[in-house]
Chain A
Amino acid sequence: MASTAVAEAPRPAGFRFGRAARRYGWTVAVYALLALLMVITIAIKPDYGSFEWNTLTLAALPLAFAAVAQTMVVLSGGIDLSVGPLMALANVLALRAMLGHDLNYSLVVALIVLLEVTLAGALNGAIIVVTRVPDIVITLATSFIWAGLALLVLAKPTPGIPLDFQNLAQGSTFSPWVPNALLVLLVIPLVWIPLRRSRAGLAIYAVGSDRNAAFRSGVNLGWSRLLAYAVCGFFAACGGLALSMTTGVGTPLAGTYYTLSGVSAIVLGGVSLAGGRGGMLGPVAAAYILSLIPAVLIYLGIDPNYGQMIQGVLIVIVVMIGGLGVVLRRA
């Protein structure tokens, strides 16, 4: 468990294959699975082109942010069942304020929304830290609050996100194979890499992997957990804005799907729900895999209603294989 924290310290010379395999094996496997799925997709649909690729990146963008937001909290040893409603809140706040304005105005709105929903995430964390009620209970309850607020802001799905703002994610400015939706994902490393390398980021891993050890090493548990929830709120806000950009619509009820699928994505992405283990690369790839499945079904001419079922079965199989590994190693 503590190996994550140790790995940040200068390593003795010599590359240890076993440890590298343990640390990165799952991530590599997830990317291999994604690549395999892409190959299958292209085999099924030989005319798979930049348009389809663009569609995939658009579908995966909000989910990728949902997964990354959840990862943040799970790394700190918690769980946030209000990620989806937070996204919905950001989404409708953006629509309400942007309606009928130009790009510059929209960008300012986007910044304010990011700030507001980050604060909402921080509030989740603050309540958990102060009341000492288990995170699953608090975020379950606050998911009602954020979802209710989203409904107050906007009673029903409404289109009207300014086109210029939508195009930040929808077009492909540089090359048809590098859609903007892929570039928007760069927000993740821009925030995550400095955070992970900082003391605060290391503290989040430490708290997630062993709370007592972290406390005795002088880590401020309360602030670290609060920070994790705040950053989770920030990424959830990104997800909500991504939803605005990719759909152009404000949907107050988008929440539930993204909470559950976000958790699915991080599990598939190799983040341990026990905390302290995992990164951001796996969950993002998993978000792509989960978004690719319905598309593949459509190409195969299968009812896309099977999508949810297959997503569930895939997760069950993946976690069972993971669990089996643990059981066998113990035996």
Chain B
Amino acid sequence: MDTEKNVYEANMKALQLYRRDICEKLERQEKQKFFEIDTCNIEAAKDGSEILYCSKGDKVYYLNSKYAPLKEAQTWAKKCEVKNINQISIIFGMGNGMFVKALLERIPVGNTVIVYEPSKEIFELVLKKIDLVELLKNSKLRILVSGVNEEELYHLIEREVNASNFYHQNCFVLPRYGEIFPCEYGKFISEMRKAEENAYVQEITLIGLGKKSIKNSIENLKYILDGKSLKNAKETMPPNLNAIIVSAGPSLMEEIEILKKAKGKALIIAVERIVDLLLENGIVPDMIASADPIKAVPASEKMQDVQMVFLTTPPCNPKLYQKHKGIKIVCNNGGLYQNLCLTTGIQEDMVSSGGSVATFVFGVLISLGVKRIILVGQDLAFKNGKSHAGATQGGDPWRMKIEVEGVDGTTVITRQDWAMFKKDFEDRIENNPDIECIDTKNTGAKIKGTKHMSLAKVLEEYCKEEIPIQEWLKEIESVFKESDRKKALQELGLYRDELKETIEISNEAIKLCEQLKDEKGNEDSVEKLQNLTEKLTDMRSRILINDILYGYTTEMQAGVSNLESEGDLWESTKGIFEKTIEVAGEMREDLKEAIREIKEYFGEE
């Protein structure tokens, strides 16, 4: 009995130290009824090991060999052997931990194992009776337990999967688990596939748009340095300001007349896609928002005649920056912007843009401290086959369509990317419990955590008073003062010098790769190459070429396992340095032009 107590205490101590989230969630949870099994217990195998069994109806299932469970686990793990680097192995079932332990012993450093235990009762039983300390300490292992932290499966896979390992994932099911837990298994597979698809879409987007994003950020530098401060906007914002995010879902058409009444009583922010339609209907939003590097520019010429603040991020399409006349709030998206803030000592909150312009605006409103956010036209689903307000057809027929719960309790058809945005909204709402989010649409996908209310009712209840929104927006201070701008220009000049040095170092590195390819394994050359790589990594200008090289190198890493010889390895490393030279040269030229334009824009020498 004492031994059992000691085992449990040691496991709980390890949980607290290494798996705090599981520990806290386990403590908070009420005792639940068994699901999919009736009982579970542990007995000794013939070799003395502790093995699991459970009952379901009149049937008893053993989850390990009754004779030699360790040998069974080791033999099982042999088939799961992982040769590639950065690979993910996902296991359905943790059982008594023996199989997971055997697998962990076979995988290389840097690889991850995600284990999903479908029975909380089994997990709790094992915690009480079997020493799991070594497993709980293992940093390669992520543990998910149904009814405890299973919701993290989606995010975990999304975080771990990237272009370099998308094709090197393995999913294993522990013996008998698929048969005993069919419901949990179905849920697990469905959630895993959704997360993998989303991770893949995001990764491909990053690789595809990485170059465009950084080139746009450089081209937009003059506007960035002339942008207004989100931090100051927060400090001077009128109290009790409610905000309306107007998106382009088909339901917008039903609310457009009511929306006119919101002007001056709530901050109206429209996504770029819907601005033409709003202006045609006589609604001038307070802000137009865009964060997309390749989004089409609104066609309406009216855009230039009205007062709308442009809410954006550095990588946004430069044509939209150019077409918009007036105040711009360029949000800090990290990277180049954050570097300029650090150089000048400026503090601007970083805003996560999320997957869509509406989630970006949501992030901005959270940063501003707005406490009530009203969603209009945020359908995230098709309506009578139409994707957007004013659209004549469904749009993007190549995208995968899926069913989700509708706002009215029915099932609606959405697109995979919209389902991802929906999840993004839900996460942000859950993480900001002090913010009330109201969804006004009558049809479309249900966004969990929102309050459902018609726009007319929202205006009647919460937007009665006139608020000096335009006065507030006009008074927002600039981020960069003249002295800051000069420091920023110096920093950009330094980047140009560093990019020149990057090219020189990369040329040197290429020569070393060629030597290594011929000599094979000269330790001195390897050390020199490592030093050169470290020098490149430490450069501040690296921020301008990282994302582009990332796309290139991850695609290469995906093929690393196919390299046949050490010579191939040095050839592929040489390829990375050649790409570095190409990218650094291009960015250096872009920066030269941007610096010239900044000086011209501000009338400086």
Q: Do A and B come from one complex?
A: no
- Which residues does B use to contact A, with CB under 8 Å? none
- Which residues does A use to contact B, with CB under 8 Å? none
